[in-house]
Chains A and B, each alone.
Chain A
């Protein structure tokens, strides 16, 4: 009996410390110091009432210029385990100054997915971006909504409304559930709310930030709905010639359903684009899955895979640091906005204050994150 008691206490202790770690990670508060052009902070639930009060009723930072113009939506955190996307969106929310037009920024499109890490993936629960005033800690997150918020998964996931059969687990993948379903799962409702936002706010361009493993063929590219093919191609040419890095263009496949670049373009008037940056942390051949790999993008095993011709993007001992990945996203958006504004002066979105690729690589992402301790506390928000 004593032995059973000892083993039970051992199990209870394991469960306690594991539960404590999971709870802390799930409830980690990420501060946001809205930049000078943020006129208000709405909620995603404002656009679809059934989402109100749920874990995915997230902040929508509304940046407005002095003059009317076009409207852009930036989606960070569709897949929270692709952190360069969230950080790029963060930089826009905290730094952008708009002279013309509006930008809606969502930092954590699938907040539920940001509160859990991958089962069996040995992901770190969080990571810290170094800053001059200390550091900013972020939740690591995963590709799929937290099973605590949406469970169980079905045997077969039929995408709505096309009924295309997708991987069962992707019923919790925000980027397989667009345009969403009003009476569907949490993930589908979240997509529906985002689609409603795009419709009601008459968004002209919706840009979804992502990262990809180097073994995935759609990488270092802009995936464009056919409505945005010219815009993406022009941005690709300008970026590749003047920004210091190369980026390609891929057409959004018409037969692959549920993805933002396909469904938002089909379901709304907006041009839908998806940006991919390289993230070795996601590669199946990676070594130790830790914070260092996430932030430096350095991994000997992925380099070895590259030498054997197994990758769709180059990698060497320098890796793919987070600043490089974030800078690619900020520069790509800036180029898209500049080209769009030149072609559509009445719907221009003129923005300044956002660092380009070379700035982020030189100064680090942390240089563009504001210190919440020194900010007006009434204007600090949390993700």
Chain B
């Protein structure tokens, strides 16, 4: 059961990461683009199992 919940959380993380990338690509303001990239970093590190 624990393993199933963990996999679900990784899927959620990936989904949010994809949303952030999509918003980064759509956005026109550089301040928001930097914000999206910074918010994305911990999610990428978790998906890569680095942190």
Contacts and interface: CB of A to CB of B under 8 A. Distances in A.
Contact of A148 (B24, B37, B49): B49
B11 interface: no
Nearest to B43: A15
Nearest to B37: A11
A19 B45 CA distance: 7
A185 B24 CA distance: 37
Contacts, number: 47
B50 A23 contact: yes
A4 B45 contact: no
Interface string A167-203: 0000000000000000001000000000000000000
B24 A4 contact: yes
B1 to A, nearest CB: 9
A380 B12 CA distance: 43
Contacts of B25: 4
Interface string B7-39: 001000000000000001100001001100110
B6 A19 contact: no
A10 B37 contact: yes
Given A4-B25, A15-B41, A151 B50 contact: no
B: interface residue count bin: 20 to 34
Given A3-B30, A4-B24, A152-B6, A11 B40 contact: yes
A26 B24 CA distance: 31
A22 interface: yes
Contacts of A152: 5-6, 9
Contacts of B6: 151-152
A150 B41 CA distance: 20
A7 interface: yes
A253 to B, nearest CB: 29
- Dominant secondary structure at the A interface: helix
Given A11-B37, A11-B40, A151-B6, A18 B51 contact: yes
A344 to B, nearest CB: 42
Given A4-B25, A152-B5, A22 B51 contact: yes
B41 A7 contact: no
Contacts of B41: 11, 14-15, 18
A151 B9 contact: yes
Contacts of B48: 19
Nearest to A117: B51
A22 B38 CA distance: 17
Nearest to B45: A19
Contacts of A23: 50
Nearest to B30: A3
Contacts of B38: 11, 14
Given A11-B41, A147-B46, 18 more contacts: A3-B30, A4-B24, A4-B25, A7-B37, A8-B37, A11-B37, A11-B38, A18-B41, A18-B51, A19-B45, A19-B48, A19-B50, A19-B51, A148-B49, A148-B51, A150-B2, A152-B5, A152-B6
Which 3 A-B residue pairings sit nearest by Cβ, starting from the closest? A11-B37, A19-B50, A22-B51
27 contacts: A4-B24, A4-B25, A4-B33, A7-B24, A7-B30, A7-B33, A8-B24, A10-B34, A10-B37, A11-B37, A11-B38, A11-B40, A15-B41, A18-B50, A19-B45, A19-B50, A22-B45, A22-B51, A23-B50, A116-B51, A148-B46, A148-B49, A150-B2, A151-B6, A152-B5, A152-B9, A185-B2
